[in-house]
Structure 1
Amino acid sequence: MKTILLPTDFSDYSRNAISYALQLYKKEACHFQLLHVYKVRDYEESSRLTPKPAPGVLEKARERINIELKQLVEDLKNKSPNKDQGFGFTSANKPLVPAVREAILKYKADLVVIGTHGHTGDTEVVYGSNTVNLMEEIKRCPILAIPGHVQFHSLKEIVLAHGFKSELIPKDLNFLVQLSQNFDAPIRILHIMEEGGLNDRQKENREWILEHLREQQADHSFHSLEFLNIPLGIYAFTESRGSDLIAFINKKHSLLENLLFDPLYKNLAHFSKVPVLILHQPDEK
């Protein structure tokens, strides 16, 4: 049984992401674990920058939040299309990323689903800092980011944006292949050629992906675009086809590469109108 971790701040954006997750897995028996993080007078667990609140203050805040979470869980149970689905909740007085990281390990989460929207109210700003931080810092679990205006209808096509610059292993694609097969949604592998054609290494990596998808009997096709920057190329491709999901595989980078590399999903935030799935290379430990 899959476990889906749902960070929530009780906003409309997070509630929409929860609804999307329930619809995405409406035919599967799975467990949904809600997570809410909070501060009390700017204090977070083990914080050395702010004094700990007076006795009883943290306990009262936790009790109030858990009442809200319990009510939300009851609402979800009543609305769930699948009675074999389970629900739970937890809260933490700590920053979001450490709380999510701990929850992934504790509940053995298979996916984190989070609602996205910047705090400026600008309709072109899709991702807030919390979402970007999760995309960058969480390495053990796929992250699915749902723009606040997007509701789930179906998955008819998944776009895997990839530059073929790094070698993959089967684990990198397992989640994506399973999602594709669950919905009979073909995977469209998209490469944006900013600097001409593929070199020999990129060709080898592309052929490995295509061969692996053939072995897994996953419906797929390869596409390329030229003379476009990467975020705009992805936007043009998905917009023209009405694609339902954009996936990226976030490989490990050296310290120098991290300093120079501006993550693609930050740029894509200004163009994306569909959910984005970040797949991290599993730890070899």
Structure 2
Amino acid sequence: MKKKILLPTDFSRNAWNAISYAVELYKNEACDFYVLNAFNATGYALESMMVPEPGEKLYEEAREKSENGLGKIMERLTFRDESPNHQFFMISQFNGLLDAIKDIVDKQDIEMIIMGTKGTTDARDVIFGSNTVMVMEKSRNCPVLAIPEDATYKTLNEIVFPTDYKMNFKRRELQTLLDVAKITKAEVRVLYASDGDPLDEEQQSNKNLLDEYFGGLTHTYHALYNIEPQSAVRCFVESRDSDMIAFFNRKHSFFGSIFSRPMVKSLGRYAKVPVLALHDLRS
């Protein structure tokens, strides 16, 4: 069964890098890739509160720019992607980015969103741009893999999965992580930032569940003691040169909310490590 992957683009270098990463990650898998550009007729808000309609100059100029950009991406993909199992669909939509993504995710039954961490207008010192943060936070029914600007695809050897063992995971919530680890043969490192106390009964039960879910994969358990979770992840990833971080974007969790300023700042230090945001499908 084909995988369905959504690739949002604003035609930036980072967006193209994310597309390239996605194609390489799934090079041996049958995939339909949907390359999406959400365009707006910039400038109209200054002149009128009326949204431009098809046929009007501002709308048509923006649409043409969007379609031309997608045409160039299709041309580049035709030259570089040699997998007979890959199909590409270009989508130009007059919409806000998040609404366009939600629309395509729903209509095409998308399994994962892969996008760059920043776009054309983000400052050079910002690793996770506002659009990426918004999509990772608001696209609650679809996992998001964020590819940093400096990340180049290499064989995934190790995926770090931080947890406090307080969440009763469901297999379907971990499915994207399981799939990525399986197709890349990556080993999963489960990381726990411990305060020194032994796991309680609930935590041990949840750890046993993880052991069951990761049963078909090579996986190991690690604990760092008396260190903040964000620092634990950073130290672990840097010391081992890990290839990806996967975690649950869930409020009141191991990280609090990933989108708190300290967490974004901390994640921003992993300038070359893709980050997979999974979601608690029960919230």
**What residue is the counterpart of 1:268 in the other structure?**
266
Rounded Cα–Cα distance in structure 2 between residues aligned with 1:120 and 1:269? 16
Rounded Cα–Cα distance in structure 2 between residues aligned with 1:225 and 1:236? 9
Rounded Cα–Cα distance in structure 2 between residues aligned with 1:280 and 1:18? 22
Structure 1 residue runs of 5 or longer lacking an equivalent are none
Deviation at 1:43, TM superposition (A): 5.2
Rounded Cα–Cα distance in structure 2 between residues aligned with 1:132 and 1:83? 33
Q: Normalised by the size of structure 1, how large is the TM-score?
A: 0.87
1:80-159 maps to which residues of 2 (within 5 A)?
Answer: 80-117=81-118, 119-122=122-125, 125-159=126-160
**What residue is the counterpart of 2:218 in the other structure?**
219
Please state whether the residue corresponding to 2:154 is helix, strand or coil: coil
* 1:232 and 1:271 in contact (8 A); partners too: no
Please state whether the residue corresponding to 1:223 is helix, strand or coil: strand
Please state whether the residue corresponding to 1:176 is helix, strand or coil: helix
Deviation at 1:197, TM superposition (A): 3.9
* 2:38 and 2:93 in contact (8 A); partners too: yes
**What residue is the counterpart of 2:29 in the other structure?**
28
With over 3 angstroms needed to count, the CA separation of the structure-2 counterparts of 1:71 and 1:242, relative to structure 1, is same
Deviation at 1:198, TM superposition (A): 2.7
Please state whether the residue corresponding to 2:193 is helix, strand or coil: strand
1:175 aligns with 2:176: yes
* 1:250 and 1:281 in contact (8 A); partners too: yes
RMSD between aligned residues: 2.3
Please state whether the residue corresponding to 1:246 is helix, strand or coil: strand
Deviation at 1:178, TM superposition (A): 1.8
Deviation at 1:195, TM superposition (A): 6.7
Residue identity opposite 1:263 in structure 2: I
Residue identity opposite 2:106 in structure 1: L
Please state whether the residue corresponding to 2:36 is helix, strand or coil: strand
Greater Cα shift, 96-105 or 76-85: 76-85
1:188-199 maps to which residues of 2 (within 5 A)?
Answer: 188-194=189-195, 196-199=197-200
1:40-79 maps to which residues of 2 (within 5 A)?
Answer: 40-42=41-43, 50-53=49-52, 55-79=56-80
Deviation at 1:42, TM superposition (A): 4.7
Please state whether the residue corresponding to 1:87 is helix, strand or coil: strand
Deviation at 1:99, TM superposition (A): 1.0
With over 3 angstroms needed to count, the CA separation of the structure-2 counterparts of 1:59 and 1:177, relative to structure 1, is same
Please state whether the residue corresponding to 1:282 is helix, strand or coil: coil
* 2:44 and 2:58 in contact (8 A); partners too: no
Rounded Cα–Cα distance in structure 1 between residues aligned with 2:75 and 2:180? 28
Deviation at 1:196, TM superposition (A): 4.0
* 2:249 and 2:257 in contact (8 A); partners too: no
Rounded Cα–Cα distance in structure 2 between residues aligned with 1:50 and 1:164? 50
Please state whether the residue corresponding to 2:166 is helix, strand or coil: coil
Q: Give the fraction of aligned pairs with identical amino acids, expressed as a percent.
A: 32
Structure 2 residue runs of 5 or longer lacking an equivalent are none
With over 3 angstroms needed to count, the CA separation of the structure-2 counterparts of 1:171 and 1:22, relative to structure 1, is same
With over 3 angstroms needed to count, the CA separation of the structure-2 counterparts of 1:41 and 1:212, relative to structure 1, is closer
Residue identity opposite 2:191 in structure 1: L
Greater Cα shift, 270-279 or 113-122: 113-122
Rounded Cα–Cα distance in structure 2 between residues aligned with 1:181 and 1:52? 46
Greater Cα shift, 236-245 or 112-121: 112-121
Render the CA deviation track for 1:189-228: whole Å, top value 9, x for unaligned: 00112474433322221121112322xx111111010122
* 1:231 and 1:271 in contact (8 A); partners too: no
Rounded Cα–Cα distance in structure 1 between residues aligned with 2:256 and 2:174? 23
Please state whether the residue corresponding to 1:120 is helix, strand or coil: coil
* 1:160 and 1:247 in contact (8 A); partners too: yes
Rounded Cα–Cα distance in structure 2 between residues aligned with 1:250 and 1:269? 13
Residue identity opposite 2:123 in structure 1: T
